[in-house]
Structure 1
Amino acid sequence: MAKQKKKGQSGQAKNYITRTQAVRKLQISLPDFRRLCIFKGIYPREPRNIKKANKSATHSTTFYYTKDIQYLLHEPLLGKFREQKSLSKKIARSLGRNEVQDAVRLEKHGMPKIKLDHIVRERYPTFVDALRDLDDALSLLFLFANLPSTTAVPAKVISKCQRLCHEFEHYLITTHSLRKSFLSIKGIYYQATIQGQDIMWLVPYKFVQRVTQDVDYRIMGTFVEFYCTLVGFINYRLYTSVGLVYPPKFDAARDERGAELGAFTLEGRGITSAIDQEPQQKALTNGHEQAQNSEAVQAQIDNIAQDTGTDEEVKQDEPTGDQADAGTIDTFIPAAPEGDTLPQPDRTGDAASTLFSPCVFFISREAPRHSIEFLLRAFGCKRVGWDTVLGEGAFTHEETDPRITHQIVDRPALAQPLPSLEGQETSKTDQNLQVVKPGFIMPGRIYVQPQWVWDCVNEGKLLQTDIYAPGETLPPHLSPWVRPTSGQYDPRATLEEQELEGEAEEDGEEEETAEIDGPEDEEDEEDESEEEDEEVDAGGMDVAGSEDESEEDVDEVDAFGGFEDDADDAANSDIDEEAQHQKELEAEALGEPVPVTQTNGEAQKAKARQARKAAQTKKDEEIERQKMMMSNKKRKLYEKMQFSNAKRDTEAEKLRAKRRKVERTGKSKA
């Protein structure tokens, strides 16, 4: 006889365990259990049959896998949690005895430190696995880097997050790994490609953040604690892979003065930071720090440099085929016109490093300095300046510097040139201290709005600057990760490329009728229809005075002879008008609506409209005929596809109509 299974000892009742049972099994508190689960990546599970897993209990519970809890029994952090618990009891006992110094000593020196290095190695066996999970880590660290310090969010945590984020940004600047960025309502999205992995994260805008009480910062702080260890590992691996020393040198004094990225100095393989490269060049050219060589040694150095220069020139004149094609990107062209369009490869780091390299930028005070500086330096710009109010680390703080080629402003239109100082006796110091007042522009400089930087980055080229001039209406800023498909509305394309045949004409007629017909006209039409009904009921009598007015109109038409050159046309028009007038009289006598005369253009439009309706009707009939030959399953699938396509077309048509209306109002105002 087979052994009978007891209830609650097999199946889902055995595979799942409640949270209360797990806490009792691990012998830790509930907050420590939550921290441990977050560190180890263990989350609640939902069984298929909650009744069987809960052993017929009716109250709602949280379930975990039993194997996950057994896996936690061997975690070394459990001993650390127990040590912290016993130490907290000792501190409470010392405070109860009024032994404050002992309590401070225990809390400062006796508290065991928790290290999460082994957990990072367990959860991410390879470096690629860690890069794939970097999106959430960067988003949370950038969020905490912008929060104000409170009791729930200590200042140490915020400074640590800021430092890790700046170190990661320095790696992207050095390797030119940043690819795209997008300004959204939530914040600024960035995307970078590191070792073939696309990493996207969100950075909030630098506004004053309000710490609310409905957010549990203890749980978020636990995630931050783990992600700080993870990002520290990743930064170390990234820096060492390109030959940089980690951690980079950090100047706390410059960071307090608002240097941000400029507070770090990169070292290794002769690589200097892009932030500090220009000051070092200035220091070398001054001659104070540059060692003077003797004439004989300098002559030998010059000879060696000439020899190596000629060899390099010969090598550069005869490049190999692989070197010639190394910097180019292949483009995939479809073989057939109706074939599938293959995704084009993204630009390389070399193309990103030369986008803004020939430009010198100056950031105005009202523009977001950090995000613009990060984008410009990540795409090749070596010299970026800003006002002294925004902090240290700038290439120049003088807005009148003649080396500046582009200035990023977010103000109204600038139309007044800066008054020149020619003819005035001013010293060089006065010229350097000259400040450009709001409303003035520097001649020979390009002024653009901040969106120009993002659009250039997403397009991979320098766009026209006149569209982004101060005071101009900016083009739509669209997400670089969303590409419009066939049938969808594309804000980049013109209306003529997207409109269906006759869509603009029908929309124009509807707008004209909507403008002409109002509530008063509708009431007048109702009154006229009631009067016509009364006349028909009275025996079909005409309205008093209608014949006299019609006879007067006929006399006026007959009295006009027309021009001598167009006698035939006038005669034909007279005949048409008489026929139309006769039709109007017959309609009034019968109580029917008066037919409206149409011009040649309106007649052609009506014919075209009728032709389109006939073609659409024919097409619908053909589709219905083909649907009759389908099976029931395919017919339902086809109807679902048609429903979704019709919904998409309706939305696109509404957006096109809205854009058409905006363009018409703009033309009328102009």
Structure 2
Amino acid sequence: MGRIKKKGTSGAAKNYITRTRAVKKLQISLPDFRRLCIFKGIYPREPRNKKKVSKGSTAATTFYYTKDIQYLLHEPLLNKFREHKSVAKKIARALGRGEVGDASRLEKTLIPKIKLDHIIKERYPTFVDALRDLDDALSMLFLFANLPSHQHVPAKTIELCQRLCLEFEHYVIASHSLRKSFLSIKGIYYQATIQGQDILWLVPYRFVQRTGGDIDFRIMGTFVEFYTTLLGFVNYRLYTSLGLVYPPKFDAKSDAHGGELGAFRLEGRGLGATEESATNGEEQKLITSAEAQAEVDKIAALAAKEQQEDEPENAVVRTEEEDTEKIDTFEVAAQDADVLPQPQASNAEVASLFAPFTFYLSRETPRAPLEFLLKAFGCKRVGWDGNLGDGAFTTDESDPSITHQIVDRPALPSESLPQVPEAPKSNGEKGKVQWPRSTMPGRTYIQPQWVWDCINQGKLLRPDLYAPGAELPPHLSPWVKGKKGEYDPTLPLAEQELEGEAEAFEDDEDEEDEEGSSDVEMAAANGTNGTNAIVDREGSVEAGEGMDVASDESDSEESDEEDAGEEFDGLDSEAESEASDADATLRRHQRELKAEFHGEKIQPVVQTKKEKNAEIRKKAEKKRKEEAEEKERQKMMLPRRKRKLLKRIEHGEDKRDKESEALRKKRRRIEKAQEAANALS
């Protein structure tokens, strides 16, 4: 006879451990246990059968893997937590005795400093692993960088998050690795491709943040402590890969005046003298080595000399090569052929999207995201009003070198603006009043969305569509790809509507207008308001209605028979309509033959718009009915399991088609209202 196993000593009961037992096993407090689990990346687990794990109990319990807790037994941070606990007891004892000086001395000298370097190396053995886990880190640090300081979030933590985020943005600008951005309700999404990894993070808008009391900042602070260490490692590796010195030089005075990105100056790592890159308006030069730079200059001189010698002979060949360097576009060969994905622009073209322009940001525009986006896509000269902060290329709005000005308010008539005295310049000339009172000739005025849409589409869009006060095009997410049959706001309705859908909408609108006009006429004849008459008619109860509580069986049988008769009549309605159409065509043909026999002139039958729409709708419905019947015949050949799967797929497609049709109807109503308003104006 085999040995009887004791309950709870093997299987799922042994693989899981409760949080209370784990805390007792590690001999630390619950806050320290949470902190340690966050640092090590250990999270609660949900067993398949809680009764087996908890030995029949159904109480709400948090479980962990037993092997994860055993792995924590050898963590060096446990000793740091215990040392911190003992020093905290000594400080509390000194404060209880009134020895404030001893307590401060103990806090400065004996409090252990916790370093997470070994944990970063354990959790991310390769640099690619760290990049893959950078999404949440960047989102959390950008969130804390925009928070106000209070008792739970100290100012030092906010300053550290701001510095690390700005350093990362400088790398994205220098490497031109930013790809897409999107304005959403939550904030601004950014996506950068770094060493083949797509990194997506969220930056909140700079509104006044009000932190509620239901937020546990201790847990969030633990994540911030870990993420700051991780981003510090990542920034160091990224800067050294470009040959930049890390950390970059930081100008505290410029940062105090709102410099932000302009408060950092990047340096190239060189053996001799280093060349500093300017913050705004100058070219950035990275020198990795003096010998390497000399070799590069020598090769460049030789290449230029050879180009000058071969210029007259190879002029035609070079023009052909330039033509071949252009990106090809794939066109659809047949009507039902597959649509091939178009090749995207090269990184060099995307990186220099805004390079030839000089931008000026008005006071009402968000300076920080626009400065980051413009510089990340090649713009070297970005100016703004002096009230927005330090580090601008120019603060003079009338600078003639400005090619584009970004504004976020409509152009108002000069009569509605208050009178402002013109400020005299230093040389005695009167300063010109600029936007919104006047515009500079030769300058393009655009709204901020133009920058985001140009970046997402990888090309410069028409600026007149984004002029001040203009109705902007829809701003869609660049990560959502439209599927066949879905509503696309960028395409016209004629390309998306099904056959006969526009005619059906016109008929429905005409019927609604006729019903509304008839109701108004009846109300006017009765001497009452139209809307009140409609409400009274719908809400009124005629004599005898609502009085019968119980009905006889005969009444129910009669009603069932009537419903069945109505259903039967509905089934033959299509056949009757087809027969009536055939009779109408036969009578028309007979009239034509009679007129031809008597030698009379045959008058053409002029169809009304309603009749034409009805004819188009009938053809479309007939075509769809034939397709549905053919599809049903094909489904009969499928096995039962696949037929059920196809039914679920069709249910989802029908739901999507109904939503798309509702959106198209809504857009058509809006366009019709706009046309009516334009006609009246």
- Band of TM-score, shorter chain: 0.7 to 0.9
Structure 1 unaligned residues grouped into runs of 5+: 282-302, 418-423, 528-567, 577-597
Distance 1:339 1:622 in 2: 22
- 1:210: which partner in 2? 210
Contact 1:172–1:178 under 8 Å retained in 2: yes
Show the 5 A alignment for 1:357-368: 357-368=355-366
Q: Which residue of 1 aligns with 2:561?
A: none
Which region of structure 1 is more displaced relative to structure 2, 349-358 or 224-233? 349-358
Q: Does 1:310 find its partner at 2:305?
A: yes
Whole-Å Cα distance in 2 between the matches of residues 75 and 602 of structure 1?
A: 81
Q: Does 1:641 align with 2:649?
A: yes
Q: Is the CA contact 2:281–2:382 (under 8 Å) kept in the aligned structure 1? A: no
Q: Contact between 2:507 and 2:613, CA under 8 Å: does it hold in 1? A: no
Is the counterpart of residue 19 in structure 1 residue 19 in structure 2? yes
Cα distance, 1:337 vs structure 2: 6.2
Contact 1:132–1:199 at 8 Å: present in 2 too? yes
Shift of 1:601: 3.9
CA shift digits 1:318-372 (9 cap, x unpaired): 9999997997667667787655545455444311221000100000000000000
CA RMSD across the alignment = 3.4
Question: Could you tell me how far 1:123 is from its partner in structure 2?
Answer: 0.3
User: What is residue 413 of structure 1 aligned with on the other side?
Assistant: 411
Counterpart residue type for residue 141 of structure 1: L
Distance of 1:202 and 1:181 partners within structure 2: 10
8 Å CA contact retained: 1:398, 1:432:
no
Cα deviation code 1:286-318 (max 9, x no counterpart):
xxxxxxxxxxxxxxxxx9999885356458979
- The answer to whether the Cα contact below 8 Å between 1:332 and 1:342 also exists between their aligned partners in 2 is yes
Note the C-alpha offset of 1:412: 1.2
What's 2:669 paired with? 661
Say if 2:277 is the partner of 1:273. yes
Change (3 A) 1:617 1:37: same
CA distance in 2, matches of 1:630, 1:280: 65
Which residues of 2 match residues 30-41 of structure 1 at below 5 A? 30-41=30-41
SS in 1 for 2:214: coil
CA distance in 2, matches of 1:327, 1:37: 53
2:482 match: secondary structure: coil
CA spacing shift, 1:145–1:323, aligned 2, 3 Å: farther
CA contact (8 A) 2:283 2:380 kept: no
2:225 aligns to what? 225
Supply the distance in 1 between the matched residues of 2:121 and 2:341 (Cα, whole angstroms). Answer: 35
Moved more, 445-454 or 100-109: 100-109
* 8 A Cα contact 2:181 2:188, kept in partner: yes
Please name the residue that 1:592 is paired with: none
- Residues 1:241 and 2:241 are matched in the alignment: yes
Q: CA deviation at 1:606?
A: 2.6
**Structure 1 pair 25–198 and aligned structure 2 pair: CA distance change class (3 A):** same
Tell me the equivalent position of 1:155.
Answer: 155
Q: Aligned partner of 1:643: which letter?
A: H
1:561-572 → structure 2 map (5 Å cutoff) = none
Equivalents in 2 of 1:238, 1:192: separation in Å? Answer: 13
* 2:13–2:54 contact (8 Å) kept in structure 1: yes
Matched, 1:389 2:397: no
Residue-by-residue CA offset, 1:208-230 (whole Å, 9 max, x unaligned)? 10111111010000000000000
Distance 1:604 1:327, change over 3 A: closer
Q: Radius of gyration: which is bigger?
A: 1
Q: Is the 2:277–2:283 Cα contact (8 Å) retained in structure 1? A: no
Q: 1:509 to 1:343 in 2, by over 3 A?
A: same
- More divergent stretch after superposition (448-457 vs 629-638): 629-638
CA displacement 1:159-205 (0-9 Å, x = unmatched):
00000000000001001000000000000000000001111000000
| Distance in 2, Cα, partners of 1:340 & 1:85 | 68
Whether the 8 Å contact between 1:244 and 1:271 is mirrored in structure 2 is no
Q: Give the Cα–Cα distance (whole angstroms) in 2 for the partners of residues 399 and 168 of structure 1.
A: 30
Contact 1:140 1:224 (8 Å CA) reproduced: yes
Supply the AA of the counterpart residue of 2:123: R
Letter in 2 for 1:384: V
- How many angstroms does 1:427 deviate by? 6.5
Whether the aligned pair in 2 keeps the contact of 1:274 and 1:382 (CA below 8 Å) is no
Determine the C-alpha separation between the residues in 2 that align with 1:522 and 1:651.
36
The residue aligned with 1:201 is 201
Instruction: Please tell me the residue identity of whatever aligns with 1:397.
Output: T
Q: 2-side partners of 1:327 and 1:33: how far apart?
A: 59
| Preserved CA contact (<8 Å) 1:458 1:480 | yes
SS at 1:64 equivalent: strand
Q: Does 1:369 align with 2:367?
A: yes
TM-score (norm 1): 0.80
Q: Residue 493 of structure 1 is aligned with which of 472, 479, 491? A: 491
Instruction: Summarize the Cα distance change of 1:64–1:137 in structure 2 as closer, same or farther, 3 Å threshold.
Output: same
Measure the CA separation in 2 of the matches of 1:641 and 1:474. Answer: 36
Correspondence for 1:467? 465
Residue 466 of structure 2 aligns to a residue whose secondary structure is: coil
Match among 588, 599, 610 for residue 602 of structure 1:
610
- Partner amino acid, structure 2, of 1:641: I
Q: Please, which moves more after superposition, 17-26 or 621-630?
A: 621-630
Structure 2 distance, partners of 1:637, 1:157, is: 54
CA contact (8 A) 2:191 2:199 kept: yes
Q: Does 1:121 align with 2:107?
A: no
Partner of 1:106: helix, strand, or coil? helix
| Distance in 1 between residues matched to 2:152 and 2:321, nearest whole Å | 56
Q: 1:179, 1:192 within 8 Å by CA — same for their partners in 2?
A: yes
Partner of 1:539: none
Counterparts of 1:189 and 1:206 in 2: how far apart (Å)? 14
Q: Which amino acid aligns with 2:277?
A: S
The AA in structure 2 aligned to 1:607 is E
What is the identity, as a one-letter code, of the residue corresponding to 1:514?
Answer: E
Counterpart residue type for residue 208 of structure 1:
V
3-state SS of paired residue (2:201): strand
Cα distance in 1 between the residues matched to 2:348 and 2:118: 37
| Percent identical | 60
Q: 2-side partners of 1:307 and 1:627: how far apart? A: 72
- Partner residue in 1 for 2:443: 445
Please give the alpha-carbon distance, in whole angstroms, between the structure 2 residues aligned to 1:367 and 1:360. Answer: 16
For the Cα contact (< 8 Å) 1:327–1:350, is it kept in 2?
no
Query: Using the alignment, how far apart are the partners of 2:348 and 2:609 within structure 1?
Result: 58
Residues 543-600 of structure 1 show CA distances to partners (whole Å, capped at 9, x for unaligned) of: xxxxxxxxxxxxxxxxxxxxxxxxx999999xx9xxxxxxxxxxxxxxxxxxxxx944
1:71 maps to 2:66: no
1:645 deviation in Å?
1.0
2:503 and 2:616 in contact (8 A); partners too: no
Give the one of 437, 455, 458 matched to 1:457. 455
For residue 7 of structure 1, report the CA deviation from its aligned partner.
1.0
Indicate yes or no: 2:656 matched with 1:651.
no
Query: Residue 30 and residue 304 in structure 1: after superposition, are their counterparts in 2 closer, same or farther (change >3 A)?
Result: closer
Compute the displacement of 1:382 (Å): 0.4
Answer yes or no: is the 8 Å Cα contact 1:40–1:119 preserved in 2. Answer: yes
Residue aligning to 1:557:
none
- Between the aligned partners of 1:322 and 1:224, the Cα distance in structure 2 is 55
**Stretch deviating more after TM superposition (480-489 or 324-333):** 324-333
* Structure 1 range deviating more: 341-350 or 326-335: 326-335
Pair 457,414 (structure 1): closer, same or farther in 2 beyond 3 Å: farther
Structure 1 match to 2:352: 354
Compute the displacement of 1:383 (Å).
0.3
Cα separation, partners in 2 of 1:37 and 1:320, compared to 1, 3 Å: farther
**Does the C-alpha gap of structure 1 residues 246 and 345 become closer, same or farther in structure 2, counting only changes over 3 Å?**
farther
- Farther-moved stretch of structure 1 (52-61 vs 603-612): 603-612
| Gapped regions of structure 2 (runs ≥ 5) | 286-297, 416-421, 526-532, 538-597
- Corresponding position of 2:543: none
Q: Note the C-alpha offset of 1:521.
A: 7.1
